[in-house]
Structure 1
């Protein structure tokens, strides 16, 4: 096969980033700097051995992943830390061509430091507004419940999120180890969120199989599903997802890092796309996995052979599935058309 001499730049393709966790968005050098500033000792896996070697297909592996995430979160001790994290996340998205970032956060993880759930969410929303103003990247907040906690905690978060509809909160999620809490247990929380007009975007089909995805559809009325790649194990489920237009937030490097697939070539990205499933590429936690959003599109191009029209369609899918305002969606979609209409640029080297 001939080596291409030109290509459209992926960092100039307008897109939306819909699967990024709050702490997991942090730059590695920011983590190291803030740990020193806040007096937090980091393990070698988060310093010299970064990005850490992870595998979460067994309980011990997930515990290690969660432990590293919790250590990283512990450096966020002051309000200015939250502002810095969101500003840098938005800057990174701008560099990747993103016009919309939907970042997910469980305020419970920070509430003890910032005067409770409501004050924490308001702090994050204010940081998002400033990041948006400074970078020009639209920022929406997904309030995400933790499936390892009691469903009543999720209900409290849904009621909190409901208060901020139209004020920066656009979606409601459910994260953490899906083997430790079935989606159906959180139906009442998602009912509150959906009635308030929030998008439903729970995790499913990552470490568990098709049943996890079906519960997200049946019990949580999902508009999007975080990961969802194991739906491929049930052809009828794949057809249903495509027919209903439910978007899967596929995170290639995360799926490899956590052992969902052994190699990125094994990811069913092409099969899902060719089956008509809407897909929004995401990074999950680049702090722990390394590559950011442009690299996910590069994987689609170089590993799975996505053409530029197909990459443009991936970008449109991410925009359509987002909680961005309609005017921004139209602007970004027009930008995708312009990217595709422009000639490829010569490759360096």
Structure 2
């Protein structure tokens, strides 16, 4: 697939492109500098002691190492100020990439299990969100989630906390972690939907196409995190194309976690050719050595031209929970940038 646009300054185009990010984890976006600052604040002595050592430690080695780094970031978040600092910092770095709106996953159970109240988490991230919106104009919304492999009791505890404490900026309920069958939590996602939360699970990164089917049929999924395993099932691909269920794809993450063996093997171009509604995302950017701008570069490297990159950006807008007037304005701005840079 070679759709490259003659004469296009790809880097300038990608940077100018207004963007939406729908699959990025708050805790997986913590910079080494902030990790070290919070570790020192709370007297955490089990982490590397200098910024250079922390940066080296952050460099992705394998999935178990990623889990270690992710858990370390979670454990340095203790009080409201910590969560506010992280939210504001993540939002500022998104804004630097011309991201106008983001729906950010929050590993709520990872904090509840440590005895951090949901109210502390939500008050902190809301403080950071409001600060970022004032300073940078970016808008953030939240998707609390829990790890699938921890079982239905954990799912229920997390959902109870969300329903009791969540601010209006929470748009959905999610599930991540190691993919497990969804039947035991179907009733909980029904509760979440009845309460007005959108069903936004991870599925089909490592768990096979059957997890994607379960997410649709049992969880009422409105959007799928990853979903690349769907490409192994032609009937499922046809269904996703017909129903236009958004798939939030993160190529670098898929490479780092071993879901694909080489970036050139990523099914993103085939997903687009199949008519799937694909969005582009960074997942855990600082821990995977990427960001959303780099994911657009990666997509260009897979052969997508300016029009295809702009279509990914418009898909992000369409799949988001922005208000319709804001969606229309942002889509029009994307078209303007495309015309300016690609002569469309």
What TM-score results when the alignment is normalised by the length of structure 1? 0.88
Q: Which residue of 2 aligns with 1:27?
A: 31
Query: Matched residues in 2 for 1:189 and 1:106: separation?
Result: 17
Alignment of 1:125-204 (within 5 A): 125-162=126-163, 167-178=168-179, 181-204=180-203
**Quick check: 311-320 or 124-133, which moved more?**
124-133
Alignment of 1:244-263 (within 5 A): 244-263=243-262
1:184–1:216 CA contact under 8 A, matched in 2: no
Query: Matched residues in 1 for 2:264 and 2:198: separation?
Result: 31
Query: Matched residues in 2 for 1:247 and 1:198: separation?
Result: 17
Asked if 1:6 corresponds to 2:4, the answer is no
2:60–2:288 CA contact under 8 A, matched in 1: yes
**Quick check: 156-165 or 5-14, which moved more?**
156-165
How far apart are residue 337 of structure 1 and its match? 1.3
| Runs of 4+ residues deviating >6 angstroms | none
1:44-95 CA-to-partner distances (Å, cap 9, x unmatched) read 984324312114xxxxx4xx43222111222223322211111111111111
Q: Which residue of 2 aligns with 1:42?
A: 47
Query: Matched residues in 1 for 2:113 and 2:128: separation?
Result: 18
Alignment of 1:230-309 (within 5 A): 230-302=229-301, 304-309=302-307
| 3-state SS of 1:145 partner | strand
2:280–2:292 CA contact under 8 A, matched in 1: yes
Query: Matched residues in 2 for 1:5 and 1:13: separation?
Result: 13
How far apart are residue 241 of structure 1 and its match? 0.9
Q: Which residue of 2 aligns with 1:76?
A: 77
How far apart are residue 188 of structure 1 and its match? 1.3
1:159–1:193 CA contact under 8 A, matched in 2: no
Query: Matched residues in 1 for 2:54 and 2:182: separation?
Result: 31
**CA 1:320–1:164 in structure 2 vs 1: closer, same or farther (change >3 Å)?**
farther
1:45–1:51 CA contact under 8 A, matched in 2: no
What TM-score results when the alignment is normalised by the length of structure 2? 0.89
**Quick check: 12-21 or 191-200, which moved more?**
191-200
**CA 1:45–1:213 in structure 2 vs 1: closer, same or farther (change >3 Å)?**
farther
How far apart are residue 97 of structure 1 and its match? 1.5
1:291-342 CA-to-partner distances (Å, cap 9, x unmatched) read 100000111112x211111111101111111122223222211211111121
Asked if 1:229 corresponds to 2:228, the answer is yes
Query: Matched residues in 1 for 2:115 and 2:337: separation?
Result: 42
Q: Which residue of 1 aligns with 2:209?
A: 210
Q: CA RMSD in A?
A: 2.4
2:200–2:222 CA contact under 8 A, matched in 1: yes
Q: Which residue of 2 aligns with 1:121?
A: 122
**CA 1:50–1:157 in structure 2 vs 1: closer, same or farther (change >3 Å)?**
closer
Query: Matched residues in 2 for 1:209 and 1:2: separation?
Result: 35
**How many residue pairs align between the two structures?**
335
Among 294, 312, 323, which residue is 1:314 paired with? 312
2:103–2:140 CA contact under 8 A, matched in 1: yes
How far apart are residue 344 of structure 1 and its match? 5.1
Query: Matched residues in 1 for 2:242 and 2:209: separation?
Result: 16
**CA 1:45–1:289 in structure 2 vs 1: closer, same or farther (change >3 Å)?**
farther
How far apart are residue 260 of structure 1 and its match? 0.6
1:216-259 CA-to-partner distances (Å, cap 9, x unmatched) read 11101111111110111111111111111111111111111111
Structure 1 residue ranges without an equivalent (≥5): 56-60
Query: Matched residues in 1 for 2:94 and 2:28: separation?
Result: 14
